[in-house]
Amino acid sequence: MKTYNDVYMEARRALRSAGVEAYGLEARLLLAAAADKSVEDFLRDVRLYPGGDFEARAQEYLDRRLAGEPAAYIAGSWEFHGLELEVNANVLIPRSDTEVVTEAAIAFLGDRREARVLDLCTGSGCIGLAIAAAVPDCRVVLADIDRRALMLARRNALRTKLSQRVLALEADALAPPSRQLGMFDLIVSNPPYVPTEELERLDASVRDYEPWTALDGGADGLDFYRAIFARWPVLLKADGCLALECGEGQSETLRRFGTQVGFTEIAVFPDAGGTERALTFRRTNENEKSEI
């Protein structure tokens, strides 16, 4: 009879042989889900003998992963910035690249008291919830046009015990915002930014499983950025900040967009691979603005 650890080592080897980069992490995640345990509880019990249908479920989950389905969707959860979040096929899986814009946003807020934050195109709510967790007295609005994503974001607010300071609302990033949303110290967004023609060339684990509506940024990948710069800064307070994630090669264009609408203080933040992955925009004076 096999222990949890025996099954774990077998899954780990299978994922490694298949070329899965984070084979250890994914094996733990999948087997913890198969055992109906948290990862922490699974590791605590790893020397025990499982009961029930654990081995059958573990094999099912492993087969699905080896067929290309992302581990996060199989397990139904993923960790982001220290938070364990529910994920499903209605939202993108949070990635380490997105922690770059999250950290930039948290650094901007610093010791501001009772700051208001808008997480636009929130998806799972990962950015806004990570900010709420890191900045204890801020208030966060999670906004998305997809009602299924908003339902998930609300569940994640409850899951992370942040729901008292977090509100999820329907909003279209491509449309003019409602002034009823109020004013914000920070607007942060990881909008869709993949050019439409590149969607078919994405890795199969992304192309075949993650929602294209959360990836497709239009013909040049910049549709959402144009709309955000043109319409959403009206909700920023005078000393507020706009923080955006972007794709490879897009940061220079976003700098230009920001300058055209009057942002005069622009900072760029690279990811671990050196790609310019996030930018922050602030106004230090009331320069004339032009159309994007």
User: In tens digits, what is the pLDDT along the chain, a chain of 292 residues?
Assistant: 899 999 999 999 999 999 999 999 999 999 999 999 999 999 999 999 998 899 999 999 999 999 999 999 999 999 999 999 999 999 999 999 999 999 999 999 998 999 999 999 999 999 999 999 999 999 999 999 999 999 999 999 999 999 999 999 999 999 999 999 999 999 999 999 999 999 999 999 999 999 999 999 999 999 999 999 999 999 999 999 999 999 999 999 999 999 999 999 999 999 999 999 999 999 876 555 666 6
Q: Which of 249, 234, 246 is nearest to 280 (CA)?
A: 246
CATH of residue 26: 1.10.8
| Domain membership flag for residue 149 | yes
Same domain, yes or no: 205 and 103: yes
Calpha distance 48→288 (Å, rounded): 68
Buried b / exposed e along 86-108 (16+ C-beta atoms within 10 A)? bbbebbbbbeebbbbbbbbbbeb
| Domain membership flag for residue 26 | yes
Residues whose CB is less than 8 angstroms from the CB of residue 105 and which lie 6 or more positions away in sequence, other chains included: 117, 127, 131, 186, 188, 241, 243, 280
Same domain, yes or no: 69 and 120: no
| Domain membership flag for residue 236 | yes
Same domain, yes or no: 116 and 230: yes
Same domain, yes or no: 125 and 204: yes
What are the tokens at 80? 């982001």
| Domain membership flag for residue 81 | no
Same domain, yes or no: 54 and 115: no
Same domain, yes or no: 57 and 94: no
Domain that holds residue 197: 90-282
Structural domain count, the chain: 2
